[in-house]
Structure 1
Amino acid sequence: MRRDDSSPDIAFTVERLHAADEALRIAVVTETWPPEVNGVAMSLKRMVDGLLTRGHRVQLIRPRQHAADAPQRDGPLREVLARGVPIPKYGSLRVGLPAKQKLARLWTLERPDLVHLVTEGPLGWSAMAAARKLKLPVTSDFRTNFDAYSTHYGIRWLKRPIAAYLRRFHNLGHATFVPTRALQEQLIDCGYRNVEVVSRGVDTTLFSPGRRSQELRSAWGVAPDDLVVAFVSRIAPEKNLDLVVRAFEAVRGTRPNTRMLWVGDGPAREQLARQHPDHLFAGMRSGEDLATHYASADLFVFGSLTETFGNVLTEALASGLPVVSYAQAAAAELIESGRNGLLAAPGDEAAFVAQVMRAATDDALRTRMAAGARASVERLDWASVADTFAHRLRDAVGSAEALRLARDGGF
């Protein structure tokens, strides 16, 4: 006899099959992974580490990063390497090629409880197809506004097709995870279904005001009373770099002892360095070195309108830097104007420049915001984020089991 989703027998069976303390077998499919340096790779590593710490087993499917790349195959994390090709203008990153048949064979032999898709490229699409063929539960992350990127790379005409593709991709799964409530509402308004919030954390041990280094500032040629304005991220057109430059130049017109610090790499770095040889270009940094660069600056400026979260904002705040940003993504939820930073309405460039000027020229205000910056993110620990992520994955497995049992008529 067929039972509905609320059947006690079904609920009991789902609970029995996937009890709260039972380890899950999770296949994670991504096209970026450390040592690649970007927000997706770094935050995903934290999430995967959290799953492993909680006793779950993870099968990581990713593109081979270089010829000598060898997969990890021992322990609770097992890697499967797929073919990939370099992303144009981003030679250090690769896009995975389709691997539906390979993944279908793999998951037939080693069936996971759930497939989690991190990126929406050809590898991710083929993984979705393979998982659906095998009737495996699928969850996904919405981490990058690829449709918004189109306006920065001369392919504005592709914005609507890309948006339609992303919506179709994510709606094929059981749930889509986003890092903020604002993005959740935005995607729901655009026709996305089953959108759930899983936030991001920040390592407050690594990123700390205590890492401020006068030695590093001296190496930059910066005096103790000089102001250092920092930008940390991929140096690429979609980050609205021209606006950051204009805001900095406005500040320097009033406060000549101000220096601009760029930390990161990307397709726009070379041209930016040619245009502004007096700026400081630190290149790609990581670990304690990156944390020291953050803490040794005085103000963080971020003009991007394409972020889904913006991990650099939480890292800057944890480092004791006041943040000036548009009121979107993580900034809209974390920045309290006048307490830990200043905000401008998204797209209002005049207001953005004015807020940067205000933060840079009002020393008393900037000192108060620096004191509030650290406190505003101390609750964002990765352990609680990993708990939420693991819980959402388990919910997806349980929901898929309930739907299957209801469809098949239960027992």
Structure 2
Amino acid sequence: ALERLLSAYGRWFHNRTQRTLVPTRRTIATAQGMGIGNTALWSRGVDCERFSPKKRSKSLRQQWGLNEDDRAVLYVGRLAPEKNLPLAVVCFERIRKLYPTARFILVGDGPMKAHLEARHPEFIFCGMQQGDDLAEHYASGDLFLFPSKTDTFGNVVLEAMASGLGVIAFNDAAASEHIRHNDNGMKAPLHNDDNFVQHALKLADQPSLLRRVRSKARLDALDLSWNQQIDVFERLAFNSYTQVSSHADNKQSFPVL
């Protein structure tokens, strides 16, 4: 009942600003479709010193019951319905048919955790991880499943790339901006779940492709540092400031979506 009122307010608010910064081109299209003009792209960065393949831990993998050549299939994020976790479960079970020694590692917490633990006691639930512990969990994986269709961006995709993982995601949000299919990761059309599963199976079953994808993902992540993103922000802010300065009576804010 409030949708029209809130949309009108959001449109009024953002159109009074000099710029509204959004993280993806799709979000620009969405904002423009709402009647919000003067949008600009400002993506996200990733700390490639913290998130690095160098953090790979043999002892952690052993705790997970994995040898070096076994597959660690990783999910990092909230364990909640909006993250499309049933697809990740189906995907892993298909992988396990090819590689019975594979393990599904879930890092995070949320309302679905108890249900998943009860139905899948063989999965490894690591709970919330932060800082270097989180980086170690990333780097100790092999494939990274990001089945969400609702995230505005999905910083975990960049963290997985920086950690040198084979990312499988939908062609949306961060993946649409930064993953080149079959090169530095795999991405499926947004409404094609079967395609998502097939891409994961392909990466799991082709070691040479997986090695190449993981290497390219790390190299590309190095170009996504926060320092570079800060430079982009400063240029956008400076351009907007000069425009505002030329209209001294137009004092505007600078929101970020």
Same fold (TM over 0.5): yes
Partner of 2:50: 206
More divergent stretch after superposition (247-256 vs 186-195): 186-195
Q: How far has the Cα of 1:392 moved from its partner? A: 2.5
Cα offset, 1:160, TM superposition: 7.2
Matches within 5 A, 1:388-399: 388-399=232-243
Q: Alpha-carbon deviation of 1:345? A: 0.4
TM-score by length of 2: 0.89
Q: Which runs of 5+ in 2 are unaligned?
A: 252-257
- 1:168 deviates by 4.7
The alignment partner of 2:246 has SS state of helix
Residue by residue, what CA displacement relative to the aligned partner does 1:165-208 show, whole Å, maximum 9, x if unpaired?
65454334332111122322332233221111111111111111
Aligned to 1:327: 171
Distance 1:266 1:242 in 2: 14
Q: Please give the alpha-carbon distance, in whole angstroms, between the structure 2 residues aligned to 1:159 and 1:360.
A: 44
What residue number does 1:289 align with? Answer: 133
Matched, 1:170 2:14: yes
Map of 1:106 onto structure 2:
none
- Pairwise CA RMSD of aligned residues? 2.2
TM-score, normalised to structure 1, is 0.57
* Partners of 2:180 and 2:186 within 8 A in 1: yes
Choose which of 311, 317, 320 in structure 1 pairs with 2:155: 311
Structure 1 pair 375–405 and aligned structure 2 pair: CA distance change class (3 A): same
Change in CA separation of 1:170 and 1:237 when aligned onto 2, cut-off 3 Å: farther
Residue type of the alignment partner of 1:320: G
Q: How big is each residue's C-alpha offset from its partner over 1:258-315, in whole Å with a ceiling of 9 and x where there is no partner?
A: 1111111222222222221111111111111111100100001101111222111111
Structure 2 residue 68 is matched with structure 1 residue 224: yes
Displacement of 1:329 in angstroms is 1.2
Q: Which runs of structure 2 are paired with 1:333-348 in the superposition (5 Å)?
A: 333-348=177-192
1:259 has 2:83 as partner: no
Partner secondary structure for residue 300 of structure 1 = strand
> 1:83-103, CA deviations, whole angstroms, 9 ceiling, x for partnerless residues?
xxxxxxxxxxxxxxxxxxxxx
Aligned to 2:247, the other structure's residue is in SS state: helix
Amino acid at match of 1:360: A
Q: Deviations over 1:326-382 (max 9, x none)?
A: 011111121122222111101111111111111112222112211211111111111
Pairing 1:194–2:33 present: no
Please state which structure has a larger fraction of its residues in strand. Answer: 1
- Residue 310 of structure 1 aligns with an amino acid whose one-letter code is G
Amino acid at match of 1:371: S
The aligned counterpart of 2:204 is 360
Give the AA of the match of 2:74.
A
Which has the larger Rg? 1
Given the alignment of the two structures, is residue 374 of structure 1 paired with residue 241 of structure 2, yes or no?
no
What SS does the corresponding residue of 1:301 show, helix, strand or coil? strand
Residue 191 of structure 1 aligns to which amino acid in structure 2? G
Aligned twin of 2:29? 185
* 1:403 match: secondary structure: coil
Query: Letter of the aligned partner of 2:236 in structure 1?
Result: R
Q: Amino acid of the residue matched to residue 303 of structure 1?
A: P
Q: Distance in 2 between matches of 1:242 and 1:250?
A: 13
Q: Which structure has more RCO (C-alpha within 8 Å, separation ≥ 6)?
A: 2
Change (3 A) 1:277 1:205: same
Secondary structure, aligned partner of 1:315: helix
CA contact (8 A) 2:244 2:250 kept: no
Instruction: Give me the identity figure in percent.
Output: 41
Q: Quote the Cα distance in structure 2 between the aligned partners of 1:403 and 1:359.
A: 55
8 Å Cα contact 2:7-2:34 kept in structure 1: no
Distance 2:3 2:204 in 1: 36
1:351 is aligned, of 178, 195, 202, to: 195
